């Protein structure tokens, strides 16, 4: 069985290839967008709900929360995340928030970005403030990280007013122009509950929305996905939209998805709905450029390596006959 002894090193080497190259595309850097429905003191006082939310947020480098009704609830969330519990002690978390936004005192909300200080830093923030353009004007934060291939990128939080969803989505192009100019950075991603589906946005409506008609924008969450937690609906309300090919190449392909928190965190659907009628979204960013550069020679050599290995296998097999 001489051919077996010759083959084993080759098989072992080939089995290592996925592990050796995976780091080039996946840094483990994850972004989450989650509309926690009416996140107020009453919800924050529910220990089980806060425990579930803390577990969800602790899985991500950046979490973009929408529908935050009271700044005090973020203090409670950060206190839980920064506690000395074993599951959270590896990271510390901070947040940056928009001003309160809305058209009536009872409906004022904030966009809040919660992030890990060990993996990412805030380099700037920008509140879009054009009057009568949105009920809740989008809020942008620029981040920088050594872990990601795209060193600086901008996340824009957006929660559409349901009855004005099409008009507000179309105005996001103007927001993109303002945000990219403010930061001098075109690596921009919009995240949030756009109400981009079902009765709020039809197929015909898409023709009126510049972020759909302009091919420079890529929608990571497709029209057939369900971002709701209710049994009565199957709608892609929540979205992630990226501008430009360079930023798109900095994202792990097909990593934009809806998170099944019932399965991942062993929650009943009633508990999921107690948190929100919306489900979280997530996306992975690719690893840093030095890692990509370091593994490039290996990636280029892979076809030759496979060919050489195949030649060794054939020769070993023939010798054993």
Summarised one tens digit per residue, pLDDT across range 224-233 is: 999 999 999 9
**pLDDT over threshold 90, residue 169:** yes
- The answer to whether the CB of 190 falls within 8 A of the CB of 158 is yes
**pLDDT over threshold 50, residue 87:** yes
What confidence tier does 294 reach under pLDDT thresholds 50, 70, 90? very low
Question: According to the model, what pLDDT value does residue 282 have?
Answer: 98
What confidence tier does 138 reach under pLDDT thresholds 50, 70, 90? very high
* More confident of the two residues 301 and 163: 163
What confidence tier does 147 reach under pLDDT thresholds 50, 70, 90? very high
Question: Of the ranges 77-86, 187-196, 248-257, 269-278, which one carries the lowest mean pLDDT score?
Answer: 77-86
Question: According to the model, what pLDDT value does residue 315 have?
Answer: 52
What confidence tier does 9 reach under pLDDT thresholds 50, 70, 90? very low
Question: According to the model, what pLDDT value does residue 106 have?
Answer: 86
User: Percent of the chain, pLDDT > 70?
Assistant: 80
Strand 152-157 with 139-144, pairing: antiparallel
Tokens of 148: 């990601």
Q: What is the mean pLDDT of residues 64-90?
A: 90
Question: According to the model, what pLDDT value does residue 105 have?
Answer: 87
Q: What is the mean pLDDT of residues 95-101?
A: 97
- The answer to whether the CB of 211 falls within 8 A of the CB of 169 is yes
**pLDDT over threshold 60, residue 300:** no
- 177 forms beta bridges with none
Domains of the chain: 2-19+304-320 (no CATH), 25-286 (3.60.10.10)
Question: According to the model, what pLDDT value does residue 89 have?
Answer: 72
**pLDDT over threshold 80, residue 22:** no
* Global pTM value: 0.83
What confidence tier does 58 reach under pLDDT thresholds 50, 70, 90? very high
Question: According to the model, what pLDDT value does residue 5 have?
Answer: 46
- The answer to whether the CB of 113 falls within 8 A of the CB of 64 is yes
Looking at every residue in the chain, the average pLDDT score rounds to 86
**pLDDT over threshold 90, residue 304:** no
Question: According to the model, what pLDDT value does residue 319 have?
Answer: 52
Tokens of 283: 């996306």
d(CA 208, CA 167): 8
* More confident of the two residues 88 and 139: 139
Sequence-distant (6+) residues with CB within 8 A of 130 are 137, 174, 178
* More confident of the two residues 319 and 24: 319
Task: Tell me which residue has tokens 């798109």.
Answer: 248
User: Residue 209: is it exposed, middle or buried by C-beta count within 10 angstroms (0-12/13-18/19+)?
Assistant: buried
Length, in residues, of the chain: 321
Q: What is the mean pLDDT of residues 244-257?
A: 97
- The answer to whether the CB of 65 falls within 8 A of the CB of 36 is yes
d(CA 117, CA 115): 6
């Amino acid at each position: 069985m001489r051919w077996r002894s010759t083959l084993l090193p080759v098989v072992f080497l080939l089995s290592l290839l996925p592990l050796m190259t995976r780091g080039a595309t996946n840094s483990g850097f994850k972004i989450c967008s989650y509309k926690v429905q009416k996140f107020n003191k009453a919800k924050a006082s529910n220990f089980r709900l806060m425990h579930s939310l803390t577990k969800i947020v602790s899985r991500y480098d950046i979490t973009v929360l929408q529908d935050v009704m009271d700044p005090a609830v973020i203090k409670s969330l950060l206190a839980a995340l920064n506690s000395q519990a074993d599951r959270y002690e590896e990271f510390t978390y901070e947040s940056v928030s928009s001003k309160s936004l809305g058209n009536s005192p009872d409906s004022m909300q904030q966009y809040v970005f919660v992030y890990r200080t060990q993996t990412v830093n805030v380099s700037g923030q920008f509140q879009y403030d054009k009057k009568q353009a949105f009920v809740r004007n989008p809020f942008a934060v620029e981040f920088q990280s050594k872990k990601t291939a795209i060193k600086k990128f901008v996340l824009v939080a957006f929660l559409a007013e349901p009855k004005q969803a099409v008009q507000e989505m179309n105005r996001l192009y103007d927001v993109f122009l303002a945000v990219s100019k403010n930061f001098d950075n075109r690596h921009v991603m919009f995240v949030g509950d756009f109400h981009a589906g079902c009765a709020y946005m039809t197929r015909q409506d898409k023709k009126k929305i510049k972020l759909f008609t302009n091919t420079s924008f890529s929608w990571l969450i497709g029209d057939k996905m369900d971002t709701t937690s209710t049994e009565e609906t199957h709608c892609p309300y929540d979205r992630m939209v990226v501008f430009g090919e360079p930023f798109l190449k900095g994202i792990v392909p097909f990593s934009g998805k809806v998170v099944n928190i019932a399965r991942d965190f062993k929650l009943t659907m009633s508990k999921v709905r107690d948190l929100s009628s919306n489900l979280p979204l997530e996306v992975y960013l690719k690893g840093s450029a030095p890692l990509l550069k370091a593994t490039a020679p290996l990636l280029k050599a892979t076809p030759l390596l496979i060919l050489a290995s195949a030649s060794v296998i054939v020769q070993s097999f023939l010798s054993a006959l």
